Amino acid sequence: MYYDSPEKFKEQCGYVINGEWYPRVTKIIDIKSKPALYYYYAAAPSYAAAQAQTEKSAVEGTLVHETAEKILVGEDPIVDLSIAPAIAALKNFLAKNNIQVDRSHIEKRIFNPEHRYAGTIDALALIDGRFGVLDIKTSQDFYRDYNLQTSAYMDALSRDPLMAGLSTRWILRIDQIKNCLNCSATLRPKGGRDKVREPKKGPACPDANHEWSELTGVIAIKEDPYWKADFEAFLGAKKLWEWENDYMLKKIGYIK
């Protein structure tokens, strides 16, 4: 990616903490190939159309994130109608599961001075007696790339003596879909694009002539306490990202 200046690079790719600049975790893992994203762009009518859908989807995702984080700490925010089914499902999920979140660790900036990177965690949570990183996603599924991101958070936090009980990580997936009333197909209207998933098993509606339900929220949570192998992969991605951006990193003094 092209950057106009070292200042723009620093602004777009990292954070300044205690007077020192650190690259951002999410920017580092962008170096990893994403075949599904390439397929999405290839299937779009144009690059501009794909970009518009991506930006709209990001706005919707941010809205879900911000609303969910308020609910996690006991607030009762006004819910935008566009995400009401997802938030209703989240409230129902929280009513049935004991998830405790500390307000002071919502959207908290963290950094790793040894491996020299920084990031912003969604939350730290206590779930069923286990303390760990809780990362919120608004995706259609769980993706392995998330392991790179959360492993970087785990290593940074594990160096803090106040985080001695940190032992695990979760992805909390919040989404909303329509279900076919006659088969197991689903429709996901995100970013102004209706994405249909036909049934993987069982009969499908003839000629994909589906009858859709009202929009309904989907909540799923996945725990993975084994993060150290993922962190080694993250460090590999960081090395590649530094190689790719060595010109700017030398300009700003991150690489000597």
Mean pLDDT for 115-131 is: 96
Q: Is the pLDDT of residue 38 over 90?
A: no
Task: Give the residues across from 220 on adjacent strands.
Answer: 173
pLDDT at 21: 97
| Model confidence pLDDT, tens digit, residues 200-222 | 888 999 998 999 999 999 999 99
pLDDT at 55: 85
pLDDT-based confidence at residue 8 (cuts at 50, 70, 90): very high
Q: Is the pLDDT of residue 188 over 80?
A: yes
Mean pLDDT for 230-243 is: 98
Mean pLDDT for 52-64 is: 88
Task: Give the residues across from 14 on adjacent strands.
Answer: 23
What is the pLDDT of the chain when averaged over all its residues? 93
- Distance separating alpha carbons of residues 168 and 147, to the nearest angstrom: 12
Choice among 1-5, 46-50, 118-122 with the minimum mean pLDDT: 46-50
Domain 6-251: which CATH number of 3.30.479, 1.10.10, 3.90.320, 3.60.21: 3.90.320
pLDDT at 31: 95
Task: Please give the residue that has the higher pLDDT: either 33 or 137.
Answer: 137
Burial 22-42 (b: 16+ CB within 10 A, else e): bbbbebbbebeeeeeeeeeee
C-alpha pair distances (Å), 31 with each of 14, 129, 235: 14, 35, 12
- Distance separating alpha carbons of residues 12 and 228, to the nearest angstrom: 28
